[in-house]
Amino acid sequence: MLRHLDAAHDRFGLSTPFRISRGVKTAADVVTVTIRQGETAGRGEAVPYARYGETIDDTLAAIRAIAPRIAAGATRADLAALLPAGAARNAVDCALWDLEARLAGTSVAALAGIAGPVALPSAITIGLDTPDAMARAAAKVAHVPLLKIKVDRTDPAAQIAAVRAAAPAPRLIVDPNESWTIETLAALAPYLSGWRIDLLEQPLPAGEDGALAGFDGPVPVCADESLHTAADLDALAGRYDVVNIKLDKTGGLTEALALANAARAKGFGLMIGCMVCSSLGIAPAMLLGAEAAFVDLDGPLWLGEDRPGGVIDRNGMLSPPAPGFWGDAA
């Protein structure tokens, strides 16, 4: 039976601005893919990211260009030859997983041979701001198990110290989003253990992370922008301890599962992350969370209004979407 692919741009306004070192976001612009076969439809979502040269229009064009191949029956296994790793492939891959599970009357977890989604301790992000404002934001969520702090090069010591003072209990991830130099990292290294930082995420620009080779810091360092697919892992050895898997980078759940297995085999710890997106972008990623040391899937929590039936956060524990939302035949 022929399939029909539809791709659309959806926008979700944020409840509060999301600030990181490279800019401010006030809305989540996503691409939603729906693939129909008869009366059954599968959905996927992706966030085109300017950091990787992606735009909404280019992503939509790439997806629509392969629509005839999808209509003729192209499978997830065919996608790597049709689209590069990135947002476009992610949306299509996740829609095909969803469709396949619904047609088979089962779940994506069962098809993949992995455990189903469960509630996970997921990071609550403290956006970049003045140290005082970051402290106020942290104080409101000081009871959660895991916080992620967005910092830059202006005064990261004050930013981190303010959050830690306001939230003494949670585990902490610090994310400079490529804004530091090796000199900044070396200067701050003696203080990181005192602040009880659990993970430092992508401190240096991806093109400069060779400086991390041989760097003996006090906390594990995680690759984010430096990692996209399993092909990148060998170059990260000796530089990073943990890798951040995001489906918008890998090009979907299919490659993300392969990357997770390859990363574990090479001795890397796992972090599962996301862009600012709706729960449709989070549902597939939650299938990877149980095997990860760090989970950062709070993208939908920034939205003024999520898709109906999406994930729910209760005190830093993220519960999966309602049955039938994505990835099962309920």
Q: Which residues are catalytic?
A: 150, 246
* The three-state (H, E, C) secondary structure of 237-305, written as one string: CCCCCEEEECHHHHCCHHHHHHHHHHHHHCCCEEEECCCCCCHHHHHHHHHHHCCCCEECCCHHHHECC
Q: What does 91-107 look like in DSSP terms, one character per residue? A: HHHHHHHHHHHHHHTSB
d(CA 228, CA 276): 17
Provide the token pair at 145. Answer: 């198990």
The binding site for Mg(2+) comprises 175, 201, 224
Distances (CA, A) of 43 to 17, 99, 306: 27, 7, 15
Residue written as tokens 């997106």?
277
Residues ≥6 apart with Cβ < 8 Å to 58? 48
Exposure letters 12-32 (e unless 16+ CB within 10 A, then b): bebeeebbbbeeeeeebbbbb
Sheet holding 120-121, edge to edge: 120-121, 317-319, 312-314
